[in-house]
């Protein structure tokens, strides 16, 4: 029978070539910066430390077995990566969480194993978790259980970065910048219509102004644009300089950018209602966000009222259903709208917020490239189809389902199935300018002509689809359909 003295915590440490999932995600999200200090609490064999140092990042660590001499020190970012789930003592687990938080200057990343990762059937119950065959302890959390534990014990409102990975911000300004970045759409610079001398002679300066307007959706306040004095010397004012830019570019493109940044701000403010302490006070917002709010909504009260109106509307399934049916992108079925993740930003504002509520709960779902927005029940599913671009009919590898009322996530694993669901008509999931869209559409036309979709209810799984191909005496070579003679 296992006891605390027989638990071998050190045996949970693994060697890896790549960075761990929490650290790689932090890099992808811009939460690890070259000028910051990083502390890896419970660093195991130190692979993340070596990986980050190789990138020129000031990184330290401590581990009771592999690096006991490491100094626990105050750092900008602290990583508590898959540590709490291997501690069998509940009080010690809490103490470790609080100590990691006490060492945090800007943000803390906490990660742990989730229930859907529990695959070993030979585990033995121990405390609130299990003992493995190696004599190690594992506590498997539900997503909401982990969030609530962190929030309750630290008195904070953590954010989901990915299933099982949460970020706790100590720096309020960093939190606001991070939240704004999650729903930010990228735009190309509007093309110049005429080679006018006035533009060409001042191209570098006017391009810098254009980049700012693309990023914020508004012209800058003089104090936040470092080349304001140059602009005034050349054109008299920033407004006059931007008026020149508009003369030689598409006004429609600038209106699209203005509208999109306004919608992103609404979505951001709506999602902040989920924080424990609600939305921050206006004075606590970054100065650039304060200026955004004044430019788009005149004042904070108006902005909050409009975002609340939007947030409450997603609780009405008839409005979600209507928005799905009216969406200009995505594949509509009898119960949902499916969309490729690359086209998410093209959805109507209501549907982006609908998905944003699910993402607020689970964060980034690794490998998920198709999002299913349910129309008849309040839930969002994240589907993983590996090789979406290369496989003409990619197979479903896994599905993470997020109910938006009870928040009890479910995970369905199809990775070992010999008859998984597959995709057809891939062009319907992506945007019009998706790089491979025409290739997808061309294959669909070939398959329609060959009669492969005559019985659509019988081709949704791999084995049934394979049988139809045999019956029609055709085969697939990449995205080409070939007749078998």
pLDDT at 368: 95
pLDDT at 177: 84
Residue 2 has pLDDT above 60, yes or no: no
In this prediction the pTM is: 0.82
pLDDT at 8: 59
pLDDT at 292: 95
Residue 298 has pLDDT above 50, yes or no: yes
Q: Residue 432 and residue 441: Cα distance in Å, rounded?
A: 11
pLDDT at 303: 95
Q: Residue 125 and residue 139: Cα distance in Å, rounded?
A: 10
Sign of the alpha-carbon torsion through 470, 471, 474, 478: negative
- pLDDT for 262-273, tens place per residue? 999 999 999 988
For the sheet with 75-81, list strands across it.
58-62, 37-41, 75-81, 104-111, 165-169, 159-162
pLDDT at 188: 67
Residue 3 has pLDDT above 60, yes or no: no
Beta-strand (E) ranges in 6-103?
Answer: 37-41, 58-62, 75-81
- pLDDT for 375-393, tens place per residue? 999 999 999 999 999 999 9
Mean pLDDT, rounded, for 83-110: 95
pLDDT at 35: 93
Residue 13 has pLDDT above 80, yes or no: no
Question: Are the beta carbons of 199 and 193 closer than 8 angstroms?
Answer: no
Radius of gyration of the chain (CA): 26
Beta-strand (E) ranges in 362-471?
Answer: 370-374, 379-384, 398-403, 410-413
Half-sphere exposure of 284 (CA within 13 A, CB side): 10
* 414 band by pLDDT with thresholds 50, 70 and 90: very high
Spatial neighbors of 239 by CB under 8 A, at least 6 apart, are: 219
SS3 call for 255: helix
Residue 255 has pLDDT above 70, yes or no: yes
Mean pLDDT, rounded, for 357-377: 93
pLDDT at 449: 95
Residue 343 has pLDDT above 60, yes or no: yes
Question: Are the beta carbons of 482 and 475 closer than 8 angstroms?
Answer: yes
Q: Pick the range with the lowest mean pLDDT from 11-20, 144-153, 221-230, 447-456.
A: 11-20
Question: Are the beta carbons of 360 and 267 closer than 8 angstroms?
Answer: no
Sign of the alpha-carbon torsion through 385, 391, 393, 395: negative
Residue 235 has pLDDT above 60, yes or no: yes
Mean pLDDT, rounded, for 198-222: 88
* 1 band by pLDDT with thresholds 50, 70 and 90: very low
* 183 band by pLDDT with thresholds 50, 70 and 90: confident
H or E element that contains 290 = helix 287-297
Q: Residue 222 and residue 229: Cα distance in Å, rounded?
A: 8
Average pLDDT, the chain: 90
- pLDDT for 26-37, tens place per residue? 998 889 999 999
Mean pLDDT, rounded, for 413-441: 96
User: What are the φ and ψ backbone dihedral angles of 170, each rounded to 5 degrees?
Assistant: -95, -30
DSSP single-letter state for residue 351: H
Number of CB atoms found within 10 A of residue 367's CB: 13
Mean pLDDT, rounded, for 359-376: 94
Number of CB atoms found within 10 A of residue 357's CB: 21
Q: Residue 171 and residue 184: Cα distance in Å, rounded?
A: 21
Number of CB atoms found within 10 A of residue 122's CB: 7
pLDDT at 413: 93
- pLDDT for 37-57, tens place per residue? 999 999 999 999 999 999 999
């Amino acid at each position: 029978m296992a006891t605390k003295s027989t638990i071998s915590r050190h045996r949970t440490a693994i060697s890896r070539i790549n960075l761990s999932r929490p650290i790689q995600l932090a890099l992808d999200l811009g939460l690890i910066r070259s000028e910051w200090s990083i502390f890896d609490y419970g660093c195991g064999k130190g692979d993340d430390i070596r990986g980050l140092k190789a990138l020129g990042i000031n990184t330290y660590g401590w581990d009771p077995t592999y690096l006991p001499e490491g100094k626990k020190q105050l750092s900008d970012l602290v990583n508590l990566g898959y540590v709490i789930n291997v501690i069998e003592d509940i009080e010690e687990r809490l103490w470790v969480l609080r100590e990691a938080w006490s060492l945090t200057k800007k943000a803390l990343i906490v990660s742990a194993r989730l229930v859907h990762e529990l695959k070993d059937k030979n585990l033995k119950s121990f405390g609130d978790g299990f003992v493995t065959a190696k004599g190690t302890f594992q506590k498997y959390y539900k997503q909401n259980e982990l969030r609530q534990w962190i929030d309750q014990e630290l008195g904070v409102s953590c954010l989901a970065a990915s299933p099982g990975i949460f970020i706790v911000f100590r720096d309020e300004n960093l939190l606001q910048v991070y939240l704004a970045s999650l729903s930010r759409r990228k735009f190309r610079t509007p093309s110049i219509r005429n080679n006018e001398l006035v533009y060409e002679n001042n191209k570098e300066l006017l391009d810098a102004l254009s980049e700012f307007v693309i990023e914020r959706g508004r012209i800058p306040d003089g104090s936040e644009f470092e080349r304001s004095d140059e602009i005034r010397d050349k054109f008299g004012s920033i407004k006059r300089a931007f008026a020149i830019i508009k003369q030689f570019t598409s006004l429609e493109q600038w209106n699209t950018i203005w509208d999109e940044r306004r919608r992103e701000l609404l979505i951001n403010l709506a999602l902040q209602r989920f924080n424990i302490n609600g939305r921050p006070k206006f004075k606590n917002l970054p100065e650039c966000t304060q200026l955004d709010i004044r430019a788009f909504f005149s004042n904070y009260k108006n902005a909050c009222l409009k975002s609340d109106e939007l947030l409450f509307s997603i609780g009405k399934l008839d409005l979600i259903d209507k928005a799905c049916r009216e969406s200009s992108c995505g594949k509509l079925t009898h119960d949902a709208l499916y969309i490729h993740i690359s086209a998410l930003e093209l959805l109507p504002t209501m549907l982006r917020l609908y998905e944003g509520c699910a993402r607020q709960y689970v964060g980034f779902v690794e490998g998920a490239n198709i999002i299913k927005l349910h129309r008849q029940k309040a839930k969002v599913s994240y589907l993983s189809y590996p090789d979406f671009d290369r496989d003409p009919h990619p197979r479903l590898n896994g599905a993470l389902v997020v109910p938006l009322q009870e928040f009890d996530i479910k995970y369905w694993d199809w990775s070992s199935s010999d008859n998984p669901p597959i995709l057809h008509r891939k062009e319907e999931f992506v945007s019009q300018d998706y790089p491979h869209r025409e290739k997808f559409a061309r294959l669909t036309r070939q398959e329609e002509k060959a009669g492969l979709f005559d019985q659509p209810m019988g081709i949704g799984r791999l084995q049934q689809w394979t049988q139809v191909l045999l019956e029609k005496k055709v085969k697939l070579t990449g995205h080409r359909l070939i007749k078998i003679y």
